[in-house]
Amino acid sequence: MKITELLKRPRKTFSFEFYPPKTAQDAEKLFETVKDLRSLGPDFISITNSSTGSTPYRTVALSGVIKEKLGLEVMAHLTCVGHSRDEIRAIAERLKTMGIENVLALRGDIHNIEGLPPKREYRYASELAADLKAIGGFSIGGAGYPEKHPEAADMASDLDALKAKTAAGVEFVITQLFFDNRFYFDYVEKARAAGVTVPILPGLMPLTSYKQLQNFTRMFSVRLPDEIREGVEKYAADKDSLLKFSVDCASRQAGDLLAGGAPGVHFYTLNRSKATKEILKNIR
């Protein structure tokens, strides 16, 4: 079922994000995690990919296997900045043959691509969304940034880019992770004022290690409330206490988002199930 149809239902939507494994051992662990979380009845799951050459095909294959073997609705991430339009069409057709109806249209991280052609065919996610819409058969999602995209000059220009994506064919938005709900609610309000009418799903992830705290604030330019930063630092050497603290914080965050009108929650799982299961148990 297409995610656009799922989002039309009156109840909240819950979804999980995974990334393709690199080794056979990682693949085995991933399938155990997906099976474990399947019992929670997610509305859909998503499979990420980077902008490097072979990764989209790992995403396609994994998406097809999970849909066929586990019966879950799958959204495949698709980046465009490192691909030609012919390559994108080939990837899209392969997704279709595997019954994948949902795609998250992304530009991709330019800095992670070696040998990026200077005159590449895609520059923006809106161009990919337009091509996917022309190909047809997909429910198309896009990314949103409650604290603005790191490369955007300001929030106004970032919202212009979001509006361009929805005009090109993006039918729902999933946000980058954030830890202060004020950013999400302000973002939705500003997006609506700018003319963006599609559903905006918040992306949520508990911090379960001190390393994550360091990485995410650096990589994603997200701000942490003092309560979370101090808690992670306090329990950095106590794995069980840190997990409980993080699950409690994320549960409160998710509950507040849903109570405030968010259409659901998209969980970044990092291919693990324990924290996500506990959060869902708390908010349900």
Contact 189, 224 (CB under 8 A): no
Active site residues: 17
Q: Give the pairing of strands 200-204 and 264-268.
A: parallel
What are the structure tokens assigned to 3, written together? Answer: 């995610």
Q: How many CA atoms lie within 13 A of 200 on its CB side?
A: 27
What are the structure tokens assigned to 187, written together? Answer: 């973002």
Q: What are phi and psi of 192, to 5 degrees?
A: -65, -40
Q: How many angstroms separate the CA atoms of 148 and 146, rounded?
A: 5
Of the candidates 279, 284, 283, the one whose C-alpha atom is nearest the C-alpha of residue 244 is 279
Of the candidates 156, 161, 150, 155, the one whose C-alpha atom is nearest the C-alpha of residue 126 is 161
Phi-psi region of 195 (alpha: psi -120 to 50; beta: other; left: phi over 0): left
Please name the residue ranges forming H helices in 207-238. Answer: 210-219, 226-234
